[in-house]
Amino acid sequence: MGLILGVETSCDETAAAVVEDGRRVLSSIVSSQAAVHAPYGGVVPELASRHHIENICPVIEAALTTAGIALADLEAVAVTQGPGLVGSLLVGVQAAKAIALVHRHPLVPVHHVAGHVASAFLAHGEIPLPALALVVSGGHTSLYEVPEEGVQRLLGRTRDDAAGEAYDKVAKLLGLGYPGGPIIDRLSEGANERAVEFRIARIKDGSSDFSFSGLKTAVLLHVRREEIAPAEGPDDVPGEIRDLVASFQRAVVAALVRGLTRGAEAHRPRSLILTGGVAANSRLRRDAAAAAAELGLPLFVPPLSLTTDNAAMIAAAGFVSFCRGERAGWDLNAEPHLPLG
């Protein structure tokens, strides 16, 4: 019985989970800091670190209690090493190292984005391989080839803002609150998504990279040109702003789905994966499913509980690495710019 404790503190969620054999989630506890950072329109690294310190022990204890196990029952401890906010990452890494050292468990480092890819396998089990994975979140927008579980080969990534970051910045500009993704998704329902025609950035060198900074700037210029005043909050939004964010969302999703489609046409995978926090977006899920159907490929999307940052995905990815014999020493350190693939 391979019980893995996963610890995730890469940004503003303190999370711990226990997963059995890389597939069965016995517990998944997430303490969100969204309310803490909402007044600032984005994550404040210093505040995030302090709240991780306060929450890490209670969250791990809750994960163990819910799973009905003790620390001594674990096979290994998996922790997000990076990328992310260095202060946040350090809290999780130090906690995981302490547990592993005291209880003499193997310590397994996990790349945060590899965890997002693992969430699809955690949710759906066996996936036809090779797969093409689009990982979309507040900090990452990347396209990976997945030849086997636990292996990712980078094909393309954003050259500037991640898609989720663009959502947050547009929401802040328009006075809609934080996090911007769910708010814009909700406000876009029933709005005129063709009220403003935004151009999608095209990478001229033929790579599979993405770019969203130009789209964010286009929204800013439109706001200034039309003299649009910020809303009073997410519950009091005029139709003009609802149409604007719906138009913005249509452009973002079109760029993401175009990247996924072109990647599939170029690399001929047997399946598609959509994961990361922005994969919770209803428009993206709908359009990606339509594109997959047109390509004749199955699309695997984790449930909402596994798309946003969580520790179950870290435990699942850690289990695969553990089975391959990957271990970290006691000198393991946080790596805010840790590469993958």
pLDDT in tens, 255-269: 999 999 999 999 999
Give buried/exposed letters for 261-280 (b at 16+ CB in 10 A, else e): bebbeeeebebbbbbbbbbb
* SS3 of the chain: helix, strand, coil, percent, to 5: 45, 20, 35
Q: Cβ(216)–Cβ(166) under 8 Å?
A: yes
Least confident range from 91-100, 195-204, 216-225, 329-338: namely 195-204
Return the residue matching tokens 């079109």: 254
Query: How far apart, in whole angstroms, are the C-alpha atoms of residue 224 and residue 226?
Result: 6
Report the C-alpha dihedral over residues 29, 152, 75, 105, rounded to 10 degrees: -100
Pairing of strands 76-82, 3-8: parallel
Looking at residues 202-230, what average pLDDT do you find? 91
Domains along the chain with CATH numbers: 3-116+306-323 (3.30.420.40), 129-297 (3.30.420.40)
pLDDT in tens, 45-76: 999 999 999 999 999 999 999 999 999 999 99
